[in-house]
Structure 1
Amino acid sequence: MQTVLYARVSTADQTIAHQRKQAEASGFKIDAVVADDGVSGVSTVLADRAQGRRLFDMLRAGDVLVVRWVDRLGRNYADVTETIREFMRRGVIIRTVINGLTFDGATTDPMQQAVRDALIAFMAATAQAQAEATKEAQRAGIDHAKGRDDAYLGRKPSYTRAQLDDVITGLDRGDAVAAIAKATGLSRQTVYRVRDDRSEAEAALARWAA
């Protein structure tokens, strides 16, 4: 049996190494890393990604697939739910770094199956909803930035694109501000500012071309 980390990064300031570090810090002993770099989870399903396809070939019954969160598998509801179910049918166990969730097909109890399947559906739907909300906030932020005087950049953001995405993901999950600040390395004040005005947070990145 092996434990495989699947990492996906879609922007320049996200890193595969960071996702592995998070997994290992959470207690996972990673045997192999499979990663797609610069790939969108919205427009490209797992099976169509160069490295994502490898997972279907290499994972066997009893293996553990680790992902930072289900959005690394994808941000499309239908794709994510079917991907997780396909791995479970093959006897693969899926575990997430964030929230410490485990999905497997071992249980035969119908109530436990119902709870598991409902959680999978909820997580997949949340991943897609977050992607759509982030995209809308980005559009609003860019429009807001364009409406400002080009000579005025304002204060340079204290966060990167990856950190902002992590903050938004945490807020959408209902995580506490203190927990988000600790996980991202940002101050609570920064997290509060993002929470209170996501469009301006996006606009600041757009103005500074971050």
Structure 2
Amino acid sequence: MALYGYARVSTVDQDLSIQVQKLKEAGCSIIREEKVSGTSREGRKELETLLAFLRAGDTLLVTRVDRLARSVLDLQSIVKEIKDKGADLRAIDQPIETHSAAGKCFLDMLAVFSEFETNLRRERQLEGIAKAKAEGVYKGRKASIDVEAIKTLAADGVGPSEIARRLKIGRASVYRLLGKSP
């Protein structure tokens, strides 16, 4: 019966040290860390590694459930995977433990609020972008492909594959911008 810790922050400039310290103090023998968004399970290799190691009687420990998942569906999927292995999930800063009915109930409530918070943040961000666009402040990211260079090279008789190689872009982008199909 092992106690595994999982620490996660969303961006590379955020710090994991407080989470790691709490997990160590709680007695975790192994702590996996990653800096990746919690809105999806995609690209979360450390989490997948931990889930693969879990055995019956083990416990996965997090500081808070939002470190594990930001959507109800993902959290329920992770909890189901943990329970199917005969293991438990526990949070240090919240009264969550999946081996009790009350702990599971609280987990589900927090998951709903976590997803709600994520959705509110996304709405505020989209509202801000729409306002900035309306005011002419936000124009999106700068184009990374020089359309004129593509047209010039094509007019000079250079083929799409060679244009892509010279400009270090994808061949499909060249075809798309020239209005041709590969």
Asked if TM exceeds 0.5, the reply is yes
Bigger radius of gyration: 2
Gaps of 5+ in 2: 138-182
Deviation digits for residues 152-204 of structure 1, max 9, x if unmatched?
xxxxxxxxxxxxxxxxxxxxxxxxxxxxxxxxxxxxxxxxxxxxxxxxxxxxx
Corresponding residue of 1:91: 86
Deviation digits for residues 99-124 of structure 1, max 9, x if unmatched?
232112xx6xxxx4xx5554332222
Instruction: Please tell me the residue identity of whatever aligns with 2:33.
Output: A
Contact 1:81 1:120 in 2 (8 A): no
Matched, 1:60 2:55: yes
Are residues 73 and 141 of structure 1, via their aligned partners in 2, closer, same or farther at CA, if it must alter by over 3 Å? same
Q: Give the TM-score, by structure 1 length.
A: 0.55
Instruction: Please tell me the residue identity of whatever aligns with 1:57.
Output: A
Corresponding residue of 1:121: 108
Corresponding residue of 1:16: 16
Shift of 1:80: 0.8
C-alpha distance in structure 1 between counterparts of 2:112 and 2:81, whole Å? 17
2:38 pairs, out of 38, 41, 55, with 41
Deviation digits for residues 70-106 of structure 1, max 9, x if unmatched?
11221121121121122112111111022232112xx
1:130 pairs, out of 117, 134, 138, with 117
C-alpha distance in structure 1 between counterparts of 2:17 and 2:131, whole Å? 33
Structure 2 residue matching 1:66: 3-state secondary structure: strand
Q: Give every structure 1 segment of 4 or more consecutive aligned residues whose post-TM-superposition deviation is greater than 6 Å.
A: 142-148
Gaps of 5+ in 1: 151-210
Instruction: Please tell me the residue identity of whatever aligns with 1:128.
Output: E
Structure scoring higher RCO (CA < 8 A, sep ≥ 6) equals 1
C-alpha distance in structure 2 between counterparts of 1:88 and 1:41, whole Å? 20
Instruction: Please tell me the residue identity of whatever aligns with 1:98.
Output: D
Over the matched positions of the two proteins, sequence identity in percent amounts to 28
